[in-house]
């Protein structure tokens, strides 16, 4: 009976072990407030090289001109229809959030070339703290190849003690 329990536990752990062995993971510390309240300055996060992205995912974006990658939330993916109606951002006819349309000129010009839909290989990203975020409103659509990976918060900092590492602008990462 004990052997059977051990075998079942091993079977449950094997798929996790294999998937983690394939994905590269890096730990960063958040350095910025554009993702508050989700991520706070000093929060540790794991960035994986997983690229199958969906709306709502947190991603690390690495621009060549930026010193550190940035964390943002995916608001829309390729094929999604994006529009601004009465000061509200809508994705596929669902209200995402209230916005200032004047800050969306670059992005809306890009989208107008594609009939309001995100073209293949692009994302629309925003910070969770829009008053303090450089995101698609400022730099337009993000090419998927600029995404370094998915971001997963590490909760319970005290468990890890003081962490040294790179920063992720949030935010940026350190």
Would you name the residues annotated as active-site residues?
34, 72
Say how far apart CA 93 and CA 14 lie, in whole Å.
41
Task: Of 103, 130, 125, give the one whose Cα is nearest residue 33.
Answer: 130
DSSP state for residue 19 in the 8-state scheme: H
Say how far apart CA 23 and CA 52 lie, in whole Å.
12
Say how far apart CA 137 and CA 135 lie, in whole Å.
5
Strand, coil or helix: what is 111? Answer: helix
Say how far apart CA 111 and CA 94 lie, in whole Å.
17
């Amino acid at each position: 009976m004990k052997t059977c329990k051990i075998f079942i536990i091993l079977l449950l752990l094997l798929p996790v072990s294999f998937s983690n062995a394939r994905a590269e993971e890096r730990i960063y510390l958040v350095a910025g407030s554009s993702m508050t309240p989700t991520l706070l300055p000093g929060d540790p996060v794991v960035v994986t090289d997983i690229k199958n992205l969906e709306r709502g995912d947190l991603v690390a974006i690495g621009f060549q001109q930026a010193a550190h990658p940035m964390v943002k939330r995916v608001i829309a993916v390729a094929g999604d229809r994006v529009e601004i109606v009465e000061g509200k951002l809508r994705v596929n006819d669902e209200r995402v959030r209230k916005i200032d349309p004047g800050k969306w000129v670059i992005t809306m010009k890009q989208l107008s070339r594609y009939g309001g839909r995100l073209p293949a290989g692009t994302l629309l990203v925003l910070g969770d703290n829009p008053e303090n975020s450089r995101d698609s409103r400022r730099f337009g659509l993000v090419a998927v190849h600029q995404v370094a990976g998915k971001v997963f918060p590490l909760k319970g900092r005290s468990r890890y003690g003081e962490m040294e590492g790179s920063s992720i602008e949030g935010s940026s990462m350190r």
